[in-house]
Amino acid sequence: MKEQVIERLIRYAKIDTESNPESSTTPSTEKQFDLLKVLKAELEEIGLTEVTLDENGYLFATLPANTDKEVPTIGFLAHVDTSPDFSGKNVNPQRIDNYDGGDIQLNNELIMSPSYFPNLKNYVGQTLITTDGTTLLGADDKAGIAEIMTAMEYLVQHPEIKHGKLRVAFTPDEEIGRGPHKFDVKAFGADYAYTMDGGPLGELQFESFNAAGVKVTTRGTSVHPGSAKGKMVNAITLAIKFQNSMPADAVPEKTEGYEGFIHLMNFNGHIEEAKLSYIIRDHDREKFEAKKAHFLEVEKMVKERFGENSITVEIEDQYYNMREKIEPVKEIVDIAYKAMENLDISPIVEPVRGGTDGSQLSYMGLPTPNIFAGGENMHGKFEFVSGETMEKATEVILEIVRLFEAQGK
């Protein structure tokens, strides 16, 4: 099973599926269909039924029940896109067998060292898949895709494992917060689902951030600098003042656990106009709303001093903490927890410090916790994943399926 899931990851990783936050289409990039079409053919070849791929890049499939018991319909989901934070073009995965715990030479110029990434020490003796140092790997979330595919194939080949109806979904644009925007929950038809989109071995998450995106535009007046006194308004300076009004310690590099943050993602401009883009994240709804309110307070102060047209702040909520929707059906978390324990995996129940499609899907009527897929150092050139962890994630899917059937009536 390990070799199957590794082979799939490497094959999928080589297909460029980077999403684009500036696009208004769904999917945001046409190239996401390159992988979706491969997956569609593979699902059909494996033997799944009701395989559909719509014009928005949502791929659904069914593994019919093989039990007479009444069992909830369970879904397993992963996303095909990779983060636009780093290039996903011409990915060239590297395989390291029996990792010795030392430095990893990604290319002639770049080393990944456990002195900087101590998490590497957790994988001594295992098979690692890394980048070549020029792109991300895309284990987020092509590891999840590989795990779901391998689990479904295993179930088809082993009909002695009884299970209820299973649904599979591979979706676009998760990395830009739009994964479920056109997801048809009713057509998917699952009672509960799991995203295979977490990090290291044992992660089990049913709490997420509340999330919003913010676009700030400052506007100035350009005048020749030699005669600018009392006339010039520099939009870049206004933008800097705006950023300096944000809380200095509420940033990703200074927060962890349940601590929220405001993250400046992009800044560009000139004297006449400057643009800043932010994301706001907090697990606590009141603190989340307070962070949004702070943006509007600063906007008001800038307008009072420089005029109504000097600044525009646009805030758009992206998703909310899924805990509210999952707690009433906490048994789905308990089953995943038990599945890990049965496989001698120590569950690590912690909040998601990032996005997951389960946040939005849970509010759309499909409670969806998140399970580890294995990726480490995601969204960059030091990304890697363990073959053994991917194999364990595949086994967790199988055990969840078995446990649901065992509890059926």
15-33 exposure pattern, b = at least 16 Cβ within 10 A, e = fewer: bbbbbbeeeeebbbbebbb
- Cα–Cα–Cα angle for 14, 183, 203, rounded to 5 degrees: 60
Please give the angle made by the CA atoms of 84, 291 and 220, to the nearest 5 degrees.
70
Is 197 annotated to bind a ligand? Reply is yes
List of residues 6+ apart from 48 with CB closer than 8 A:
61, 62, 63, 152, 156, 168
Longest dimension (CA), the chain: 85
174 a catalytic residue: yes
pLDDT digits 0-9 by tens, 108-167: 999 999 999 999 999 999 999 999 999 999 999 999 999 999 999 999 999 999 999 999
Query: Residue 395 and residue 343: Cα distance in Å, rounded?
Result: 8
Is 79 annotated among the ligand-binding residues? yes
Using alpha carbons, list the distances in angstroms from residue 49 to 52, 61, 241: 9, 6, 57
pLDDT in the model for residue 310: 95
HSE-CB of 53 using CA atoms within 13 angstroms: 18
pLDDT per position as a tens digit, 252-282: 999 998 999 999 999 999 999 999 999 999 9
- 6, 149 in Cβ contact below 8 A? no
The number of residues in the chain equals 409
On whether 270 is known to bind a ligand per the annotation, the reply is no
* pLDDT tens per residue across span 324-343: 999 999 999 999 999 999 99
Q: How would you classify the pairing of strands 261-269 and 192-198? A: unpaired
Confidence check: pLDDT of 359 > 90: no
pLDDT, one tens digit per residue, over 283-312 is 999 999 999 999 999 999 999 999 999 999
Q: Residue 242 and residue 4: Cα distance in Å, rounded?
A: 51
pLDDT over threshold 90, residue 233: no
| Catalytic residue flag (residue 81) | yes
How many CB atoms are located within 10 Å of the residue 362 CB?
Answer: 27
pTM: 0.85
Q: Do the annotations mark residue 317 as ligand-binding? A: no
pLDDT at 204: 96
Q: How far is CA 91 from CA 10, 94, 155, in A?
A: 9, 10, 30
Q: What is the mean pLDDT of residues 163-175?
A: 97
Please identify which of the residues 174, 203, 383, 405 carries the catalytic annotation: 174
Per-residue pLDDT tens digits for 61-109: 999 999 999 999 999 999 999 999 999 999 999 999 999 999 999 999 9
50 in a known ligand binding site = no
355 pLDDT exceeds 70?
no
- Which residue in 16, 18, 42, 81 is the catalytic one? 81
